[in-house]
Amino acid sequence: MSLFGGLISVQGASFALVCVFAILFAGYALGRITIKGVCLGDAGVFVVALLFGALFKDSIFGAESANAAVFMDVLDTIEKLGLVLFVTSVGFIAGPKFFGNMKKNFTSYVLLGLVIILAGGLSAAGCIGLGEVVGYGASIESQDGFVAMIVGLLSGSLTSTPAFSAAKATAAAEYQSLVSVGHGIAYIFGVIGVVLFVQLIPKLTKADMDQERAKLVQVETGAKKNVIENLFHFDAHGLAMFSIAAVLGTVVGAIKIPLSSAGFSGTCFSLTTTGGCLLVSLIIGHFGRIGKVNLSPDSHTLKLFRELGLVLFLVGAGVPGGKDFVANFDPMYFVYGIIMTVVPMVVGYLFAKYVLKLSLLNNLGAITGGMTSTPALGTLIGVAKTEDVASAYAATYPIALIAVVLVSQALILIF
């Protein structure tokens, strides 16, 4: 690479970082605006990132922009880094109480995760049927193309990258771009809808949050206490152990399991980086130490990384989403995406409340896991004022992760 070319790349990367920090400032400012007790919170960062991508898509990402590729690489790196920071922090935070909570509520979490994803799959099937009646839309002429669009909308509604990847791998080559378009259209409400849901439900039910926090603690009794006296620490903040958990989690998430025996020829399932980092940090966080060696990062470090990771992820995902949203928006598809976000949430909430009899915070924590919604968990922690809700998220998330991949592939194969 020439010296001039290197300077262009450095300037492009620097410009991208300036944009990221500007989005963070504006996003936090927007998220603080409260209307009748409800605010966007961290999702304000996502909204600003979307607007940024939509307004500057030509000047930054257009063919005449020499730094478009560099900008996209920076955003992709920021998104992945943010996801690793967030889910690894959540795993460490939930780890000490996770297995005790799972022992008491394992069946409930499995059932709720399955119910949420099945409700999403059935709503997607209903949208396919509706499309056959009212028409597929101006840009789609075949049923196969429409099904690919709907499955993309489903993965976006559930903000599920694994489902998105699996759907693209299963769809015919000529329809894979439609999966991407659908995912981008629905992803916006998929993020914002769940964030608003976990804030509105406590207000609509007039919940006493002090009582709900007490119920949450009662459910999760028996968690192992972490002894910290006279332990060896690799560093004062626990960055070394956090790093090793992130490395091991990335490796575990990269392991691919063939699904040929389940009837999905040529496709594989993996936990991805998200699931791998969550699983590894849960296990390490549960044990807390080996002998005299401390394995748990400092709690302040975990809180900082959880918040930083979440907003970096929202910026990295939001800017490209805004760019694609303008080019591919169709009101009908957006409505389908809303349906596939709202129906699973409402069905899951009612099932957890009236059938499983889960307490409100366990219910909402499991909903964020069942919807595979990372931003909503961050919001719920703020609403509940306790990080213990992360245990319900971590318990339901793996079930939903597997189920949504299989449901997405099944819809393409069946229809």
Q: Mean pLDDT across the chain, nearest whole number?
A: 80
Structure tokens at 297: 């990062």
**Own/partner pairs, 171-176, CB within 8 angstroms, 24+ separation:** 171/412, 172/144, 172/148, 174/145, 175/144, 175/145, 175/148, 176/148
In a domain, 386, yes or no: yes
- Report the candidate in 243, 236, 336, 224 with the shortest Cα–Cα distance to residue 289: 224
Give the span between the Cα atoms of 183 and 178, in whole angstroms. Answer: 8
List all residues 6 or more positions away from 98 whose beta carbon is below 8 Å from its beta carbon: 282, 285, 286, 391, 394, 395
Give the span between the Cα atoms of 15 and 29, in whole angstroms. Answer: 21
The H or E element that residue 269 is part of is strand 268-269
The alpha carbon of 49 is separated from its chain's Cα centroid by a whole number of angstroms, namely 16
In a domain, 155, yes or no: yes
pLDDT at 265: 53
Concatenate the DSSP letters of all residues of 124-160 into one string. Answer: HHHHHHHHHHH-S-TT--SHHHHHHHHHHHHHHHTT-
Concatenate the DSSP letters of all residues of 310-339 into one string. Answer: HHHHHHHHHHHHHHHHHHH--HHHHHHHHH
Asked whether residue 340 carries a pLDDT value surpassing 90, the answer given is: yes
- Report the candidate in 374, 65, 405 with the shortest Cα–Cα distance to residue 194: 374
CB 198 within 8 A of CB 383: yes
Strand partners, 318: none
pLDDT at 267: 61
CB 156 within 8 A of CB 325: no
Q: Which of 53-62, 115-124, 281-290 shows the lowest mean pLDDT across its residues?
A: 53-62
pTM, to two decimals: 0.69
Is the Cα torsion angle 204, 397, 86, 161 positive or negative in sign?
Answer: negative
- pLDDT tens profile 63-79: 556 677 778 888 888 88
- pLDDT tens profile 148-190: 888 888 988 887 766 776 676 667 777 766 776 777 788 778 8
In a domain, 101, yes or no: yes
In a domain, 275, yes or no: yes
Angle between helices 43-55 and 299-328 (to 10 degrees): 40
> DSSP label at 40?
-
How many residues belong to the chain? 415
In a domain, 14, yes or no: no
Give the span between the Cα atoms of 175 and 404, in whole angstroms. Answer: 20
Give the span between the Cα atoms of 359 and 356, in whole angstroms. Answer: 9
Asked whether residue 217 carries a pLDDT value surpassing 80, the answer given is: no
Strand partners, 293: 232, 290
Structure tokens at 195: 């964030």
In a domain, 7, yes or no: no
Structure tokens at 298: 């400092």
Q: Which residue has 């809808």 as its token pair?
A: 193
What is the Cα gyration radius of the chain? 21
pLDDT at 317: 76
Structure tokens at 97: 């109480």
**What's the domain count of the chain?**
1
In a domain, 387, yes or no: yes
Q: Strand, coil or helix: what is 69? A: helix
Q: Is 234 exposed, middle or buried (0-12, 13-18, 19+ CB in 10 A)?
A: middle
Domain that holds residue 201: 96-310+321-414
> DSSP label at 353?
I
Strand partners, 269: 257
Asked whether residue 60 carries a pLDDT value surpassing 90, the answer given is: no
- pLDDT tens profile 126-137: 988 888 777 766
Give the span between the Cα atoms of 206 and 209, in whole angstroms. Answer: 9
Give the span between the Cα atoms of 159 and 375, in whole angstroms. Answer: 10
In a domain, 337, yes or no: yes
